[in-house]
Copies of this chain bind each other. A is one copy, B any other.
Amino acid sequence: MACEVKLAAFTPDAARVAASAARLCYSASRASDLFDGLDSEKTGEFLLKLRKIGHLSPFEHAVFTFAIDGLSRVASHQLVRHRLASFSQQSQRYVTMGAQRVVTPPSVAAIPEAAAIFEEQANAAHAAYQRLAELGVPKEDARFILPHGWETSLMLTMNARELHHFFSLRLCRRAQWEIRFLATKMLALVRSCALELFDSSGPPCLTDGTCHEEHGCGRPYANIDELLLDQL
């Protein structure tokens, strides 16, 4: 039911790259010497300070690529609205949808009657898709009848600055559940390889103690572990 996410690639030593880029702005050193003397502790402290004062551009040098499977096209349509990122997505113009692959939302799965209607309808849609193809309709047109919840696969590259922005929007309890689940997995992955860059990240309730939602949920996150455990 839920999407799978893996790290396909990332900038080696990403936190140190970002920290040395930031150092360059304030230092008479040469760009090629900036790695010298940057241990993990100094790096972490320095990056924390940068985020606090809003000096975010050095975070752009740290880049992460994710392989994502089983995400609905509902969620991917939202995801590709993030313009400061790179996407390669499976094409329904060229790839035949051979079996029913629709993401079932938890709210549907939780109601047996709803789940049955949903499943039946998803199967009927796929049968119609196949029937249209048999009648000579190109698959790029037959797909118009497939449910919007159909699964897709994609590769996504985002830098650490945009990831922080992405997490601030998409890890809010008010975000759509599927992109929020995706964001949680992504955050766990980048923390596993570059913790200094993502020591703190998430919605404003967590990072700033504030909330900008029109109708807030009233349940601010106390810390990042609560946020991660909430979903994973």
Q: Which of B11, B61, B113 contacts A88 (CB 8 A)?
A: B61
A31–B182 Cα distance when bound, in Å, is 15
Q: Which of B25, B74, B88, B214 contacts A53 (CB 8 A)?
A: B214
At the interface, yes or no: A30 with Cβ under 8 Å from chain B?
yes
Q: Which of B61, B141, B147 contacts A105 (CB 8 A)?
A: B141
Contact residues on A (Cβ < 8 Å of other chain), bracket: 35 or more
Chain B residue nearest to A11 (CB atoms) is B9
Question: When A31-B69, A148-B148 are in contact, do A137 and B157 touch as well, CB less than 8 Å?
Answer: no
B155 touches A132 (CB 8 A): no
A147 touches B176 (CB 8 A): no
Question: When A9-B61, A24-B89, A213-B53 are in contact, do A148 and B143 touch as well, CB less than 8 Å?
Answer: yes
Which residues from 1 to 46 on chain A have a C-beta closer than 8 Å to any C-beta of chain B? 4, 6, 8-14, 17, 20-22, 24-32, 34-35
Chain B residues lying within 8 Å of A213, measured Cβ to Cβ, are 53
Chain B residue nearest to A53 (CB atoms) is B214
At the interface, yes or no: A54 with Cβ under 8 Å from chain B?
yes
CB-defined A-B contacts under 8 Å, sample of 29? A9-B12, A10-B11, A11-B11, A11-B65, A24-B88, A25-B91, A30-B67, A30-B69, A31-B68, A31-B90, A32-B69, A34-B155, A57-B86, A57-B87, A58-B88, A61-B155, A74-B143, A81-B87, A83-B83, A93-B176, A103-B144, A104-B144, A106-B141, A107-B138, A107-B141, A111-B136, A117-B131, A145-B149, A147-B147
